Amino acid sequence: MMHTPIPHPIAEAVVTMLQPYAPELTVKKLEQAIFRDETTSRSEKLLTRKEAAKKLSVSIPTIDRMLRDGDLPHRHIRRAVRIPLSAVNLIIESNNE
């Protein structure tokens, strides 16, 4: 589904207003959150805690803290925790900026 892009001045204003609550928010992240394709997210690759830890070069307890603090989105499949690859990639991208 096509979407109309958010005018840049409006997107920047929204990011500025939300900055105290989400300091890592950028215009790109805002647009990704708003225009996320639900069909893609349903079929997206999911990682285990161990796989996410390896990809982020952190320990599993660090992943657990990120999950508990809400810094890393995740899904529960019965009792298993799975982390979307896109969430891990977003953290890697934000650390490279």
Q: What is the pLDDT of residues 25-66, one digit of tens each?
A: 888 888 877 876 554 456 789 999 999 999 999 999 999 999
Q: What is the pLDDT of residue 44?
A: 82
Fold of the CATH domain 41-97? Multidrug-efflux Transporter Regulator; Chain: A; Domain 2 (1.10.1660)
Q: Write down the domain spans for the chain.
A: 1-35, 41-97
pLDDT 10s digits, 66-77 = 999 988 999 988
C-alpha span between 37 and 87 (Å, rounded): 14
pTM: 0.57
C-alpha span between 86 and 91 (Å, rounded): 9
Q: What confidence tier does 85 reach under pLDDT thresholds 50, 70, 90? A: very high
Q: What is the arithmetic mean of pLDDT over 79-86?
A: 93
